[in-house]
Structure 1
Amino acid sequence: MTWGTLMSRAHGMCEFCGGMDDCLPVEVDGVGEILLCAICESDPPAEHWRCLETAAQSEHPEVQVAVWRKLAEIGEPWAEDLRGRMRLAPETQALL
């Protein structure tokens, strides 16, 4: 995906938290690229990841897969609950 296409799809914002500072493309293995800010690319406190509650509703399979994988890493009850509530299209499930 080109930089311009990615920026357009993400409206220039981090596709996890909506932040607009220092956003860069990040490869999601086997799926494609998403746009993430420096905070989401670093090691923020677990509470920061509550932003994934909104990101989980993304219509873009790349973002959905990235959210699914990140939620598995968090290890908090709310993250496990959110992961259980995510509804993914069969095509997206095949990418997990």
Structure 2
Amino acid sequence: MTWGTLMSRAHGMCEFCGGMDDCLPVEVEGAGEMLVCAVCDSDPPVEHWRCLEAASRSDVPEVQVAVWRKLGAIETPWAAEIRSRMTLLPEAQALV
């Protein structure tokens, strides 16, 4: 995916949290690329990841796969609850 296409799809914002600072493309293993800000690409406090509730409703398969995987790695009840409510697109479901 080209930089312009990725920026357009993401509206120039992090596809995890909506942040606009220092966004760069990140490879979602086996799925493609998504735009992620410097905060999400670092090691933020676990509470930062509550942003994944909004991201879990994305209609972009790459983002759905990344959110699913990230929520699975967070060992808190709220992360499990968000993950259990996700409705994955068939393209994303095949990759998780």
TM-score by length of 1: 0.98
- Residue 23 of structure 2 aligns with which residue? 23
Pair 1:11-2:3 in alignment = no
SS at match of 2:35: strand
- Residue 48 of structure 1 aligns with which residue? 48
In structure 1, runs of 5+ residues without a counterpart are none
Instruction: Report the RMSD for the aligned CA atoms in angstroms.
Output: 0.6
The Cα shift of 1:92 comes to 1.6
Work out the number of aligned pairs and report it: 96
* Whole-Å separation in 2 of the counterparts to 1:22 and 1:37: 5
The Cα shift of 1:95 comes to 1.1
* Whole-Å separation in 2 of the counterparts to 1:78 and 1:50: 8
Deviation digits for residues 32-73 of structure 1 (CA, Å, limit 9, x no counterpart) = 000000000000001000000000000000000000000011
In structure 2, runs of 5+ residues without a counterpart are none
- Runs of 4+ displaced beyond 3 Å: none
